[in-house]
Structure 1
Amino acid sequence: MRVEFLPGAATDAQSTGPASRNGQPNRPSLLAGAAVAMALLSGCASAPMTRGGSLASYDNLTPSDGVLAKSLVRVNKDEVLAAKTVRIVPTTFAQAASPTLSQEQRHLVANAIDRSLCVGLSERLQVVGPDQPADLSVHALVTQAAPTDEVAAGTSKVVSFLPSALGAGVPVPVPRLPVGLGSLTVEAEVRDQASRQQAAMIWARGANSFTNSPMVSSAGDAYDLAPSFSDDFSKLVVTGATPFGKAPELPSFDKIGATLGGKPKYAACEAFGLNPGLVGMAAGKLGLPPEWSDKAPATAGQ
């Protein structure tokens, strides 16, 4: 995974003491900066750009990487932006995507992708049910989902509670242990009514020690990364352009409400259930398995 350092990041990382003394580099500051760099480089799982064979075409896919995610994208902007309605074909897992995950866990991850896709696509398009005509149809395939090491995740969560247990007066962020991290790779495309590909993406991202909270479940990281894929892919469809390299935009009130567990904008999205919202966020902070807080509808996905 590529890690980018912004100008001044090294200085910030060394702010524990004077940067120099009598014109000579401060050794503790240099060591602190090196430690931060090593932590960033070692605290992220790699994710392969696995192809699953579900796309109508893999031609003309162009690299477009974000800070945390790698991707290959293609989009016919005019065709996509001309569309008004979209239908979501439930996400599936490639047979060899993650043999260690249970069927329940695979279903949970697939449904999390679809639920987030439905909310994201609703920002511009009307989402319709599976039996209704639509200008576009969307389908995603999970091609790889590396499992989370449950023991390492549990240990990380215990370690994160230690500062509070030891009576620290202020919150002390404790990075997750950089071992046993999971990852997720998904390919997805948009087809028109004639089954012609109008947009496609292969997306891969590994969990990291800083932004992905450990959950004691082998599906924890794949589940945590699922909405990140959906957010990127839905932006590709909504805007007709790569979602990377742009300033973030404020979500609509409909999207905020659905993310917090409210009803989605369109009834068709209810097929994927409601987001666990604050309950799910609290469970994630405690490291509880997503299987405990999120129940995917039996009729959604696989």
Structure 2
Amino acid sequence: MLALPPTDMAFDMISAPRIGAVSTVFLTLLALPACATKPPTQTGFLTNQAGMEKVSGTVRAQIERQRDLSALRAVQKLTLLPAKLQEGGDIPDTITPESRLLVLGELDRQLCFQLSRRFELVGPEDPSAARVQAVITRLQETSATASAASAAVSWFLPGGSVRLPVGRGGLSIEARLDLADGQQAAAMAWSRGAGVVMDEGSLSEVGDAHRFTANFADDFADFLVEPGKPKRALTAQDPCQKHGARLDLGRLAAGQVIGLHVPRPNSPTPQNN
């Protein structure tokens, strides 16, 4: 856990030269490209990539997608298959199996949370349900050292967090929705890297990728329904209860205190390959 200086020491530390040095670092960061996002991948997981269109106007993520909206309108029930790492994907060997499972588990969790607000989620035994699956095609490591240094710099700067131009992580995902007959009705290739501003770091080697799963899940789930369609009310029997609470206030509060993203552990351990 990153230790921040006590309040009674802070004023002694913030001398004019120190403020000037931090300001210089801040201005340098602002002069750098705001995002380290790499283009979406094309691994062959998507069975039909014809008509994939690049989404314009996105600030942080790069997205390519296609859908058959008329087919999607008829979808009422979904089966969410476990997320996987794409075979031959850009996954550094230095990322541990435990960290890989951490991201896979969070991707399953966030997709479940988002899709359950738009469709009825059912088990794989229902032959009439459409199926959704996502694969992680690229993981970029987050440097704990660079994140801690970034948090220390951010502590002196009001109004948000900044990141040093090294050690920033990222995530790339491909996902598709197949109808009950196996026809692909929607596909998305999505990629996001941590920027130098407003993307807090993490002491986890997959902290950025872990956090970005929520952004992807929201983008993908929104794409499967018509704009403005009301979300489904949560039922008493939450179909995502195996993933834990939808809002982990304790973890969020801890992250606010230290200025770093704190990944939520998997519970239970996801059965992914």
C-alpha displacement of 1:87: 0.6
Aligned residues: 245
Aligned pair 1:189/2:181, yes or no? no
2:70 corresponding residue in structure 1: 78
The residue identity in structure 2 corresponding to 1:200 is: A
Distance 1:250 1:38 in 2: 40
1:206 corresponding residue in structure 2: 193
Within the candidate set 66, 85, 90, 1:93 is matched to 85
Distance 1:82 1:237 in 2: 11
1:271 corresponding residue in structure 2: 242
C-alpha displacement of 1:84: 0.6
Distance 1:37 1:266 in 2: 51
Q: Give the conservation status (yes or no) of the 8 Å contact 1:128–1:134.
A: no
Within the candidate set 5, 30, 43, 1:52 is matched to 43
SS in 1 for 2:240: helix
SS in 2 for 1:209: coil
Distance 2:83 2:74 in 1: 24
Q: Give the conservation status (yes or no) of the 8 Å contact 2:118–2:221.
A: no
The residue identity in structure 2 corresponding to 1:127 is: L
Q: Structure 2 vs 1, CA of residues 295 and 114 (structure 1 numbering), >3 Å: closer, same or farther? A: closer
Q: Structure 2 vs 1, CA of residues 90 and 158 (structure 1 numbering), >3 Å: closer, same or farther? A: same
Distance 1:188 1:125 in 2: 17
Distance 1:112 1:125 in 2: 20
1:12 corresponding residue in structure 2: none
Ranges in structure 2 where 5+ consecutive residues have no aligned partner? 1-22
2:254 corresponding residue in structure 1: 283
C-alpha displacement of 1:45: 1.1
C-alpha displacement of 1:295: 2.5
Q: TM-score, normalised by structure 2?
A: 0.79
Q: Give the conservation status (yes or no) of the 8 Å contact 1:271–1:299.
A: no
2:268 corresponding residue in structure 1: 297
SS in 2 for 1:148: coil
Distance 2:176 2:255 in 1: 30
C-alpha displacement of 1:283: 3.0
Q: Give the conservation status (yes or no) of the 8 Å contact 2:55–2:65.
A: yes
C-alpha displacement of 1:112: 1.4
Distance 1:276 1:101 in 2: 27
SS in 2 for 1:223: helix
Aligned pair 1:150/2:144, yes or no? yes
Moved more, 277-286 or 133-142: 277-286
C-alpha displacement of 1:210: 2.3
SS in 1 for 2:81: strand
Runs of 4+ off more than 4 Å: 35-38, 249-255
The residue identity in structure 1 corresponding to 2:255 is: G
Moved more, 91-100 or 109-118: 91-100
Distance 1:113 1:265 in 2: 23
C-alpha displacement of 1:234: 0.5
